[in-house]
Chains A and B, each alone.
Chain A
Amino acid sequence: MDYQKFRAALILVPIVFFSAYLSVGKYYIPLEHILSLSFPEPFEYTIFFNVRLPRAIEAAVFGACMGICGAALQTTLRNPLVSPYILGISSGSAFGAALAIALLGQGFFFLVQPSAIMFGLGGIFLTLLVSRFRGQLSPISLVLGGIIISALFSGLLSLVQILVDPEKTQTIVAWIIGRLNVVTWDDVTVSVPLALLGIAGLLILRWRIFTLSMGDEEARSLGIHVEKERLLTILLASVATASVVSVTGIIGWVCLISPHITRFIVGSNPRFLLPASISVGASFMLVADLISRTVWTFEIPVGVITTIVGAPLFLYLMRRSMHEWRS
């Protein structure tokens, strides 16, 4: 594959979707207005700048983040079924958000996000804690630890949902499904820098992450600090994931499907996989959210779209790539 052309495509494709996202909607904004940043109607300016732009940025960053975090974790844990959600981050965040919604009134809604971040990181911390065995963090014990901690938080979440009044339960459910219609510039400024930090860190580490997938002993014999570098990979992915999820809620499947779409396009090539998963994740989310706000008379939460589209798409990719795995 021609590296230059490929790199251009990686940058151009998300930009095309990003522009389409900004233009298309219940209120159509012509592309020339966006490109020249001149809006004849003040109303159009408001929609563009206060509604669509922050939402587009959050969608793109969420997708990018999910793409690379999923790909990096799958690689470092040698398991194509792993995603950031499996390590206790999402269920921790969901519980944190639910707890904040339950305990605080509407006026304190701004505390939901910090609570979600805190419990999301708490979830991964607990997973790491229970997975350590004889001072080692093995891929298999991490996955098992993640499942255990996720189950624990899911139980606690159900408990909260049962105890609070139905109105709050509805808010909690809406938060968990995941949606982008609430995104403001404040959300973007809180979540995007942390997400970009995680993305940049994973990109820098990508060859070492690739080497980790050779197996612990071999990685060690190639000079990798297996425990430390795996931990660093997980922490970068966790911080990035927790920060975007705290704004959007648990939008499902993007983190699992994006790396697989990427593998379908570029293969497992370590040179391309992580960078390309950023573009694929961002594009996937932009398209999914565009569908979520245009296809029906009212808005469908984007988490519903990603799950309904993601599951069959995953099946398709799995069937198509089976021949590659059969040896």
Chain B
Amino acid sequence: MNGGVEVADLCFSYAEQKILHEITFDVRSGQLVTILGPNGSGKTTLLKCINLLLQPEGSILVDGIDISEISSSELAKKIGYVPQLHTPAFPYRVLDVVVSGRIPYLGLSAPQKEDYELGCRMLAQVGIDHLAEKPYIHLSGGELRLVLLARALVQQSRILLLDEPTSNLDIKNRIVVLKALRGIVEQGIAVMMTEHDPNLASLFSDRVLLMNRGRILRYGRAEEVLSRENIMEVYGIDVEIFRSNGNHYIFPVV
């Protein structure tokens, strides 16, 4: 295996209640994996377990290294995280927010010219370098998501976790964010994200991980995982599936 994440027997309980049950799967470098599942199925919890924002049982290896044995700044160099919701506390400049992604490398020192240059490059990569000097509280939801993505890229980690990167975005901004993620995956980074739209999952991901009640129901290629039977089992709704240009489209039957 040429690097990536290996999760084995991951369990997580909160207040005596078991939320995740024996999760085992792996993601290779250069793959985009989408976690799908109903509300409350444990998608976000799984993401937060993988970068130890929560403390799960089981083992998580990143590029073969057990992450429970490394320091928090080493972990931050290996795994970048983009939260679903970010509430700005102060009107910081976009570039400063992005440069805070360098903190794991800086320790107690201040960011240098190279760090700001890297920040500008990553803003350019996600297509918003023109916003570098703007206060980030004035951005639209899509722009803010891209700023946080650029910050995660500045961490130069091999793994990127994103919690619902397309939520509350219009159709165009969803595509903008997902295309940016595709570009990142092509550079050999492993990306895991949660998502609600099975069609976007199918269009953009290499693998789909379908969760139900804290367990993995299926893990594999989108057209195999997102079958009519599986969707019926997980969501309890009937869908029709169409194929066009090699893509797989899912429509609910109403």
Q: Which residue of B lies closest to A216 (CB)?
A: B53
B100 at the interface (CB under 8 A from A): yes
Which of A26-34, A185-193, A222-230, A286-294 interfaces with chain B? A222-230
Q: Are A270 and B92 in contact (CB under 8 A)?
A: yes
Q: Specify which of A206, A217, A269, A270 is in contact with B53 (CB 8 Å cutoff).
A: A217
Q: Which residues does chain B contribute within 8 Å of A267, judged by CB atoms?
A: 91, 93, 135
Given contacts A222-B104, A224-B72, contact A325 B86 (CB under 8 A): no
Q: Report chain B residues within 8 Å CB of A223.
A: 71-77, 103-104
A7 near B: Cβ within 8 Å? Answer: no
Q: Is B127 an interface residue (CB 8 A)?
A: no
Give the dominant DSSP class at B's interface: mixed
Residue of B whose beta carbon sits closest to that of A204: B108
In the assembled complex, B101 has its CB within 8 A of some CB on chain A: yes
Contact B81 A215 (CB under 8 A): no
Q: Complex formed: what's the CA distance from A218 to B104 in Å? A: 12
Scan residues 243-294 of chain A and give those whose CB is less than 8 A from a CB of chain B: 267-271
Contacts of B81 in A (CB 8 A): 217-218, 221
Complex Cα gap A215–B74 (Å): 20
Is residue A25 within 8 Å, beta carbon to beta carbon, of the partner chain?
Answer: no
**Given A207-B106, A211-B103, A325-B137 in contact, is the A221-B96 Cβ separation under 8 Å?**
no
| Contact call A213/B89, Cβ cutoff below 8 A | yes
| B9 → chain A closest CB, angstroms | 23
Decide: A207 and B103 in contact? CB cutoff 8 A.
yes
Q: Which of A194-242 contact B (CB under 8 A)?
A: 204-208, 210-211, 213-215, 217-218, 220-225
B51 within 8 A of A: yes
Contact between B137 and A327, CB atoms less than 8 A apart: yes
Which partner residue on chain B sits nearest A75 by CB separation?
B90
A79 within 8 A of B: yes
Would A218 and B86 count as touching, CB distance under 8 A? yes
Interface residues on A, range: 20 to 34
Chain A residue with the shortest CB-CB distance to B97: A214
With both beta carbons as reference points, the residue of chain B lying nearest to A207 in the complex is identified as B110
Of B51, B71, B93, which one neighbours A221 at CB under 8 angstroms? B51
List residues of chain A with CB within 8 A of the CB of B79.
Answer: 221
Bound state CA distance, A14 and B29, in angstroms?
Answer: 54
A179–B79 Cα distance when bound, in Å, is: 52
| Chain A 1-27 near chain B by CB (<8 Å), digits 1 or 0 | 000000000000000000000000000
- In the complex, the chain B residue whose C-beta lies closest to that of A218 is B83
How far, in Å, is B86 (CB) from chain A's closest CB?
7
Residue numbers in A under 8 Å from B135 (CB-CB)? 267-268, 324
Determine if B155 is an interface residue (Cβ-Cβ < 8 Å): yes
* Closest A residue to B154 using CB positions: A222
Q: How far is the CA of A208 from the CA of B110 in the complex (A)?
A: 9
Q: Across the interface, which residues of A come within 8 angstroms of B86, CB to CB?
A: 214-215, 218
* Most A Cβ at <10 Å: residue of B74, B109, B110: B110
Check A324 against B110 for contact (C-beta < 8 Å): no
Give the distance to chain B from A158, nearest Cβ to Cβ, in Å.
35
What residues of chain B lie closer than 8 Å to A213, measured between beta carbons?
89-90
Cross-chain contact of A269 among B89, B96, B155 (Cβ < 8 A): B96
Q: Which residues of B from 22 to 37 have beta carbons under 8 Å from A?
A: none
Contacts of B138 in A (CB 8 A): 327
Q: Is the CB of A268 within 8 A of B91?
A: yes
Residues from chain A with Cβ under 8 Å of B83 in the complex: 215, 217-218, 221
Distance A96 CA – B91 CA, assembled complex (angstroms):
38
Report A318 CB to chain B, min CB distance, Å. 14
Residue B244 at the chain A interface, CB threshold 8 Å: no
Report the nearest A residue to B106, measured CB to CB: A207
The docked-state distance in angstroms from the alpha carbon of A327 to that of B137 is 6
Q: List 12 A-B contacts (CB under 8 A).
A: A79-B89, A207-B106, A207-B109, A207-B111, A222-B155, A223-B74, A223-B103, A224-B72, A225-B72, A267-B135, A325-B137, A327-B137
Chain A residues close to B by CB (< 8 Å): 75, 78-80, 204-208, 210-211, 213-215, 217-218, 220-225, 267-271, 324-325, 327
